[in-house]
Structure 1
Amino acid sequence: MKYHHILVAYDGSETSKKALAHAIKIVENQPICKLTVAHVLNRPPYAIASYGLVLPEGYQEKIQEYENALMQQATEQIQNLPYAKIAMLKGNPASAILDHANENACDLIVMGNRGLGAIKEWMLGSVSHHVVQQARMPVLIVK
C-alpha cells in the first residue's frame, strides 16, 4: 500500500524505536512519502486544589534535557529522508497524536506497544489502545 504521510509516535522506549525503524523502512521504499516523528510533552499539573508539590531544584531543566536528547536521537535517524520532520506536541498523548494525524492528513500512524499487561492496561489505559480505537486511518502497532 502507498502512503503519503506517516506519523510515528516516539517516546524513546524500545518499542517506539522499533516503530520509528519500521516507519523509516516504509518511507525508504516510497521516496515521496512524508514522515513526521511526534513526541508528546505531557506534564501533569504540580498543584491540586491548593496543595502543591515541591519539585527538586533543576527538575524542569533535567526533563527538558531528556526530551531534547530524545528528539536528537530521532533527528539522527531521519536526517537522510527528504520529507521527514519532528513535531513536538502537548497534552494527553493519545489525543495529541490523533489530533495531529487528522490535522496533517496522515494516512498511517505507527507506534510501539509497551505491553502493560491486561490488568495494568485495564487500570491505566493504553495510549496505543486508545489510538487504535479512535483513529480514522490505519494504525500499525510494532512490538
Structure 2
Amino acid sequence: MLYHHVLAAYDGSEVSLKALRQAVRLADAPGCKLTVAHVLYRPTYAVEGLGFVMPESVQEKVKEYEDGLIRKAQEEIANLPYSEISVLTGPPATAILEHAADQNCDLIVMGSRGLGPFKEMMLGSVSHHVVQQAKCPVLIVK
C-alpha cells in the first residue's frame, strides 16, 4: 500500500529508532512525504505552593541530549527527498495526534514503548492512546 504522508514518532528510544527506520522504508516511494515528530514534554512539578524549576545546567544537558536526538533522526532520513523533522511540545500522544491531523498524515508509525515502564505506568501508554484516538492507521513497531 502506498502512503502520501507518513508521520514517525521518535523519542530516541531503541524501539522508536526501529519505528523510524520502518517509516523510512515505507516513505521511500515516489511522492511520499515523511515527517519525523519529536515531542518535547517537560511536565510541571508543583505541590500546593511548592514548585520545581530545572537548574540551568540541567536544562543545558537536556538541550544537548535533544539536539543529539534530532541529529540522529536527520541522519536516518537524509536520503529521502520529501522529509522533515517537526519538534512538537506538550503531552506526547496529544501532540502526535494533532500534528498528524494538521498535516493530513495517512499513517502514523511509532514504537510500542518509549522511555520505559515507569513513565508508562505514571502517564499511560502513548502508543496505546494514539492507537485509540488516531483518525488514520497506526503501525506499532516492536
Q: Same fold (TM over 0.5)?
A: yes
Shift of 1:122: 6.3
Partner of 1:31: 30
- The alpha-carbon distance between structure 1 residues 33 and 54, as it changes in their structure 2 partners (threshold 3 A), is closer
Structure 2 residue matching 1:69: 3-state secondary structure: helix
In 1, are the aligned partners of 2:100 and 2:108 still within 8 Å (CA)? yes
Cα RMSD of the aligned pairs, angstroms, is 2.0
Q: Deviations over 1:89-110 (max 9, x none)?
A: 0000000000000000000000
The one-letter code sitting in structure 1 at the alignment partner of 2:16 is: S
Instruction: Report how many aligned residue pairs link the two structures.
Output: 141
Percent identity of paired positions between Structure 1 and Structure 2: 63
Q: Deviations over 1:6-47 (max 9, x none)?
A: 00000010110000010111112x121000000000011144
Partner of 2:97: 98
2: CA distance, partners of 1:111 / 1:89 = 15
Q: Deviations over 1:53-87 (max 9, x none)?
A: 25445011111111000000000111111000000
TM-score normalised over the length of structure 1: 0.90
Unaligned runs of 5+ in 2: none
Structure 2 residue matching 1:70: 3-state secondary structure: helix
Shift of 1:125: 1.3
The one-letter code sitting in structure 1 at the alignment partner of 2:139 is: L
- The alpha-carbon distance between structure 1 residues 32 and 73, as it changes in their structure 2 partners (threshold 3 A), is same
2: CA distance, partners of 1:124 / 1:75 = 28
The one-letter code sitting in structure 2 at the alignment partner of 1:40 is: V
Partner of 1:129: 128
Shift of 1:2: 1.2
Partner of 1:43: 42
Partner of 2:138: 139
Shift of 1:52: 2.1
Partner of 2:17: 17
